[in-house]
Chain A
Amino acid sequence: MDRNQSRRQVAAMKQSLFDQGLLDEQFIQLEELQDDANPNFVEEIVTLHYRDSSRLISSIEQALKERNPLDFNKLDTLMHQFKGSSSSIGAKKVKAECNLFREYCRVGNAEGCMRSFQQLKKEYAALRKKLEAYFQLARQAGPQETACRSK
């Protein structure tokens, strides 16, 4: 595949993620921090995010099992961290699900929490898959595509 075609594909994929409401402005902000010396900064950040969020998802899952009653404070605290991490990479839809979950925590709605968490996991998995494809394509297209800053 020729370079230009690759780059166009990358740009189109990125645009699609935005059009689907999966990513927000923060993702662009991160891309603008990339340069020749740090060409994979966004991917590094997102990888760190996966590590944190995997851990948090496990903790939340565990906390949801400890019912009668649910510890809404603990759940809210965990979700606050998850939301922060998601927000830092520009994960728009996931962040919205986090907010919904926290609302359910605030009103003490256990069923709402569990439903919302299932949805959140779906959104998270979907975004993760798409971002992995995006970064793979971006790497193939070459560093010029994502690096925006000049030294």
Chain B
Amino acid sequence: MSAVGDVFMPEVGAGKLHVLAVDDSHVDRKVIERLLKISSCKVTVVESGSRALQYLGLDGEKSSIGFDSVKVNLIMTDYSMPGMTGYELLKKIKESSVFREVPVVVMSSENILTRIDSCLEEGAEEFLLKPVKLSDVKRVTDFIMKGEGKKSVKKSHKRSRSDDCTPPSISTAFSSVSHPCDVSLPASPSTFHSKKSRLSI
């Protein structure tokens, strides 16, 4: 007689976003992990940009042929980290053909406009001020969930990064169904900055 769990094992995390969180602070790692779990995400937490690249297979160690790249729907990274900053990590991700479409959210305790601007220019989805709240995480993850089917709409807002044009459909856990752009921004944008609010200026 088989146990309940043996009957049907759905794909791990089916229907859940898989989020990679990067932060050098142990406290912040624990908090962001909790925030993401409460927001029904599968979470992988690493302590540095180089570990993140290693996890994603972007550290040049693995050959691109035959390597099954890990599936990540969102990357949330701290800005100020020793070694590689969140900004540098963001750039590396956006340079990767495999991961450039993955939304990257940058978090920082410092509300420095030039910093925010450079991250958004480099393709960050959002810039969140620390300490990050549950409402921030829920908003971002909700948006990503909806947005998984709207890649073509979002692409037009991005500055073109390179000559080759990657096709909009990338296999994810979600089907690419187009929805009208129905994202509503919260009333007080002071705790976050996103491409949409910038473009509306």
- Structural contact, B31 and A84, CB atoms closer than 8 A: no
In this complex, how many residues of chain A approach chain B with their Cβ under 8 Å: the count is 23
Tell me whether A132 is interfacial, beta carbon within 8 Å: no
- Structural contact, B27 and A29, CB atoms closer than 8 A: no
- Structural contact, B130 and A33, CB atoms closer than 8 A: no
Instruction: Give complex CA distance A30, B28 in Å.
Output: 11
Tell me whether A81 is interfacial, beta carbon within 8 Å: yes
Tell me whether A83 is interfacial, beta carbon within 8 Å: yes
- In residues 1-50 of chain A, which contact B (Cβ within 8 Å)? 26, 29-30, 32-33, 38, 41, 44-45, 48-49
Q: Given contacts A33-B35, A44-B30, A45-B30, are A81 and B25 in contact (CB under 8 A)?
A: yes
* Contact sample, A vs B, 18 pairs, CB 8 Å cutoff: A29-B134, A30-B31, A44-B30, A45-B30, A45-B31, A48-B26, A49-B27, A52-B25, A52-B27, A80-B109, A83-B109, A84-B130, A85-B27, A85-B28, A87-B109, A88-B25, A88-B27, A88-B131
Contact with A along B7-27 (1 / 0, CB 8 A): 000000000000000000111
Tell me whether A138 is interfacial, beta carbon within 8 Å: no
Tell me whether B38 is interfacial, beta carbon within 8 Å: yes
In this complex, how many residues of chain B approach chain A with their Cβ under 8 Å: the count is 15
Contact with B along A72-116 (1 / 0, CB 8 A): 000000001101110111100000000000000000000000000
- With both beta carbons as reference points, the residue of chain A lying nearest to B24 in the complex is identified as A81
Name which of B109, B131, B133 has the most chain A CB atoms within 10 A of its CB: B131
A residues within 8 A CB of B28? 84-85, 88
- Structural contact, A84 and B109, CB atoms closer than 8 A: yes
A residues within 8 A CB of B25? 52, 81, 84-85, 88
Instruction: Give complex CA distance A90, B130 in Å.
Output: 11
Indicate which residue in A81, A83, A88, A149 contacts B31 across the interface (CB closer than 8 Å): A88
B residues within 8 A CB of A29? 131, 133-134
- With both beta carbons as reference points, the residue of chain A lying nearest to B35 in the complex is identified as A33
A101–chain B nearest beta-carbon distance, Å: 15
B residues within 8 A CB of A84? 25, 27-28, 109, 130
Instruction: Give complex CA distance A128, B117 in Å.
Output: 38
A residues within 8 A CB of B134? 29, 32-33
A residues within 8 A CB of B35? 33
Indicate which residue in A51, A81, A87 contacts B130 across the interface (CB closer than 8 Å): A87
B127–chain A nearest beta-carbon distance, Å: 16
A58–chain B nearest beta-carbon distance, Å: 16
4 extra interface residue pairs, beta carbon distance < 8 Å, beyond A45-B30, A45-B31, A88-B31:
A44-B30, A48-B26, A81-B25, A83-B109
B residues within 8 A CB of A88? 25, 27-28, 31, 130-131
- In residues 26-40 of chain B, which contact A (Cβ within 8 Å)? 26-28, 30-31, 34-35, 38
A95–chain B nearest beta-carbon distance, Å: 10
Q: Given contacts A29-B133, A30-B31, A33-B35, are A80 and B80 in contact (CB under 8 A)?
A: yes
B residues within 8 A CB of A85? 25, 27-28
- Structural contact, B27 and A48, CB atoms closer than 8 A: yes
- With both beta carbons as reference points, the residue of chain B lying nearest to A84 in the complex is identified as B109
Contact with B along A46-64 (1 / 0, CB 8 A): 0011011000000000000
Q: Given contacts A83-B109, A87-B131, A88-B131, are A33 and B38 in contact (CB under 8 A)?
A: yes
